[in-house]
Chains A and B, each alone.
Chain A
Amino acid sequence: MIIYLKYDPYAVMEFFLNDMVRSLDIPCDRITAFEIELGLDADKEQIKAISNYLTHFGIEIDKDHKEQLVTQIKSLIVQMINEYNVENTTDYLCSRLHYTYRYISLLFRKHTHFSIESFVIFQKVEKIKSLAIQENLTLTEIAFRMNYCSVAHASRQFKQTTGLTFQEFQKIMAARRRKVKLQN
C-alpha cells in the first residue's frame, strides 16, 4: 500500500532548523526555510556547529546569498501560482523573504535580466498550458481555478505571452498528439 503525503516543505524546513538551533543551544533572532539570523554575539564556533549539523543532512551554508535569494524568489512565485494563491505578489514575497520589494526586484532583475512581474505572468501562462494539456480544462475553468478576474483577462495574457490564442494552442497540441498516435 502506498500512502501519499501532502505537506509544506518550507514549514518542514523551518521546523527542522528551529529544532536544530534548540538542540545546539544557539540563540537566534529569526528562522525561515532558507535563513538563520543569528544574534549579534554569534561566534565562529557556533557557525561551525551549525555547518557540521547540516552537513549530515546534505545541507550546506550558502556563501552566495544573493544567488540563493533569487532561487528562493523563483520557487516562491512558482509555489504561489501552483497553489492558486491570489495574494498580491509584492506582499507575498516581502512577507516571506523579509526584504523590501525594491531590494528583491532589483536583485532579481540583475541576476535574471527580467522583472519579477514578467516572470509571474510567464509562470501563470505555463500553468494555463499545463492545466489545458494535463487536465484538459477549458479556459473558463482555468481562469476560475487560477483566480483570474475574468476569462478575457486570462485569454489576453495568454495571447500576449505566446502570440497564439488559447484555441490555437489547443489545436496545435491536439494535432501533435494525433501525429504521435499515428506514428505509434
Chain B
Amino acid sequence: MDYLKQNEINQLQDIAYEIRRLTVEMVVCGQWGHIGGSFSLAEILSTLYFKELRIDSYQAKSEHRDYLILSKAHCSPALYAVLALKGFLRIEDLYNYCKIGGLDGHLDMLETPILEASGGSLGLGLSYSAGVAYGLRLKEKFAQRVYCIIGDGELSEGQIWEAAMFASHYRLDNLIAVVDYNKVMAKGFVHEEMSQEPLVERWKSFGWNVIEADGHDVADLHKAFYTAKYLEVRGKPNCIIAHTVKGKGIEECEFNYQWHTHAPSVKKGEEFLMELAKRYNKEYTGLRCLPKSKDDGSLAIVIGGE
C-alpha cells in the first residue's frame, strides 16, 4: 500500500478548499449552479486530478491519458475549478460561468474541448465510460484507466445498471466508478425519495469490486483508488462508494437539499467565503467577481415593458 505523505495530504486539502472557494465565486457570478453536490465532490476531484489521474500537464488530451467523466454534470463548477487549478482553463474563464460565450451550466464538450464528455442528463455517464474502457482495451492500452463520477440520486436511473451489467460482463477492470454518496438528492434525502440501500450489495451483485471510503478524507480516498487500481480482484470493474456530505464546508448547506441548486446573493456569497476561509485556516480574499443581472425569466427586459 502506498500511503500519502503529510505534505501531500495538506496539498490535496488546500486544493479542495480552492475548489469550494471558486465554486462559490462561479455560482455567485453566473447566478446559477449547484453548490451542494460540488462541495461533496471537492476532495474526490482534488485527489483524482492531483494524485491519481495520469494526465500530461502540457498535453492534456494525450492519447496516453486517464479519462475522467463527470456523469453528475450539474456539479460542473467543481470540475471547472479543478481544471483551472490544473492549468487547463484560465481562472478568468471561471468568472464567465453561465454567460454567453463562457462555460456552460452543465458540461458541453463542443464549447469546452478539455472535457471528456458532455452531460447534464443523468444516468448516461457510466455507459459512455464503459465504452471508453472497452475501446482502450481493444487498443491494448492496458495501463490507462477510466474514472466515472456518479451521483447517488442518479443511481435511480435504470441505464446505470445496464452499464453496470455490461462492464462486469466484459470484465472491464480498467473502469473505476466513484459514487458520490452524499445522501441528498435535488428535493430531499435519498433514503426518503428513493432509497439506494443496500448499495454495497447491489454493486457486488452486479459483479463489481466495491470499496467504501470517506469521501472527504484525501488519505482514505487515495487508499481506495490505490486498492481499486492495484489490489482488487482482476477481471472485475471497480466501484468506490465515497461517503460524503452534501454541501460539506458550509454549515448552512450541509445535508440541505435547498442548496442543491441555488445561487447566493453577493452578501451571502461573501459570508460563505468567509466561513470557508475560517474553517480551512485561510486568508479571506473576498469575492473577486460581480454577479450577472438576474431576470428570473421576465421577458420585460427584452420586450421593454414596465
Are A and B associated in one complex? no
Which residues of B pack against A, CB within 8 Å?
Answer: none
Report A's interface with B, CB cutoff 8 A.
Answer: none
